[in-house]
Amino acid sequence: MSDFNLLINGKMVPGDLTMPVLNPATEEVLAQCPRASKNQLDEAVAAAKAAFPAWAATPITERRKLVTRMAEAIEANTNELARLLTSEQGKPLADATGEVMGMAGFFRYLSSLDLPMRVIEDSGDRRVEAHRRPLGVIGAIIPWNYPLLILSFKLPSALLAGNTVIVKPAPTTPLSTLKFAELIKDILPKGVLNVITDANDLGDAMTKHPDIRKISFTGSTATGQKVMASAAATLKRITLELGGNDASIVLDDVDPKKVAPGIFEGAFQNSGQVCLAIKRLYVHESVYDEICNELVAIAKSTVVDDGSKQGTKLGPLQNKMQYEKVKGFLDDARKNGNVIAGGSAMDRPGYFIEPTIVRDIKEGSRLVDEEQFGPVLPVIKYSDNDDVIRRANATTYGLGASVWSSDTARAHKVASQIEAGTVWINKHLDMAPHIPFGGAKQSGIGTEFAEEGLAEFTQLQIINEARA
């Protein structure tokens, strides 16, 4: 394993501290990772602040070229980044490769966007223009489930808009981000991008830092609430993409064999460690048994193993804390439902949980009411459409949802009543850089992707000119 360093002011530097990073498939130390001190965070912020005026003054056409070059560097190093991602995150190599390619795709698409001046009025009395100006230093805090892909949700838009950036990856998955920083460090002017790591001890310093103008955070709702409270002291702009307890509703007219594979993938992708994954599956009583049987068959045929091994479909959970949390959900499932597939941690090194299907379970159980963020799916019976819509909406979350039906008009009618930022019909987890993404209720604040997401990294400025 190669050496890793922080990126501060254009240079790869060691951390003032170090910390181990584990391979979740073996629980063995993968590498000793640099860990930034508070002083190094301050150095990174100072470098970003110093670099901001020149970067903001750089024409957007030039910024676009450099962000595109970053996409090219990602593509040229796909295999190395993917292998490193599998080693630290646990996901199968094919999925890690897809994540790296998706990262490059987001960089390419988002770099193609523009921030044109808009004329609101041009009359004999006045001319009013709307401009989008950069904010300054951005703090981007990245989670451990998709460390590279989620970085690409934030970084290219922030840079294209003319901001400078401090990136802080999760302490359990910092290595692929540090490798990315090494690959692109000579593309950008020094200080424009800085990458530091921590042991979950610098987040508060970032959100309170007077020279950081915006925090873009992806993670749990509980942590998002702390970010929002901490950022309030300096009235920072915030974008929060938070947790979800995403409901999926299966209507009575589906073909169970046809929809079950898509439902399973929507629930179990990345071993269920997806904020937008199906977390609660509501199935009409007329097809309930058939859907359960189809999901069981898929679960039992799914290969769970080290992500570096060919043929692996699901890898381990990413870290011990999440592993222990999901084992608690398994206890709840056995107590309050009927486990019909899986149901146990695997007797081997690593944080492996069998893909688990639980039927005959209801609201009031932890598995239904909370976000499990693991490979455990509750399948809940319903009989009335109005009732299931009410039950689906009876949560503080509102990130995503899906409706499955052979009649898209029926599905659309149901989808329009779901309180979520994204509702899919006959699919789940279909995301793309040109489609805006954001959560309702306590699943988030603000929007990512597309022109709407780019605008969130800017300050709207109105210039209102008097005409003689």
Active site residues: 241, 275
Measured CA angle at 164 (ends 160, 165), to 5 deg: 105
Nearest one of 374, 345, 339, 331 to 360, comparing CA atoms: 339
Q: Residue 384 has which token pair?
A: 């009335």
**H-only helix segments in 185-239:** 203-208, 221-231
Do residues 267 and 401 lie in contact, with contact meaning Cβ atoms separated by under 8 Å? no
Length of the chain: 468
Nearest one of 48, 43, 18, 41 to 31, comparing CA atoms: 18
Strands 338-341 and 356-359, sheet pairing: antiparallel
Phi and psi dihedrals of 215, rounded to 5?
-115, 125
Question: What's the alpha-carbon Rg for the chain, to the nearest Å?
Answer: 23
Q: Which residue has the tokens 């689906």?
A: 392
Do residues 314 and 269 lie in contact, with contact meaning Cβ atoms separated by under 8 Å? no
Task: Give every CB contact of residue 241 below 8 A, 6+ residues apart in sequence.
Answer: 153, 217, 218, 275, 437, 438, 439, 443, 444, 446, 448
Do residues 358 and 401 lie in contact, with contact meaning Cβ atoms separated by under 8 Å? no
Cα separation, 450 vs 397, in Å, equals 23
Q: Label residue 383 exposed, middle or buried (CB < 10 Å: 0-12, 13-18, 19+).
A: exposed
DSSP bridge partners of 248: 281, 402
Do residues 398 and 379 lie in contact, with contact meaning Cβ atoms separated by under 8 Å? no
Amino acid at 183: L
Q: Residue 143 has which token pair?
A: 């989670």
Question: CB 286: neighbour CB atoms within 10 A?
Answer: 13
Q: Which residue has the tokens 């470098």?
A: 47
Q: Residue 328 has which token pair?
A: 């608690």
Q: Which residue has the tokens 């993917």?
A: 82
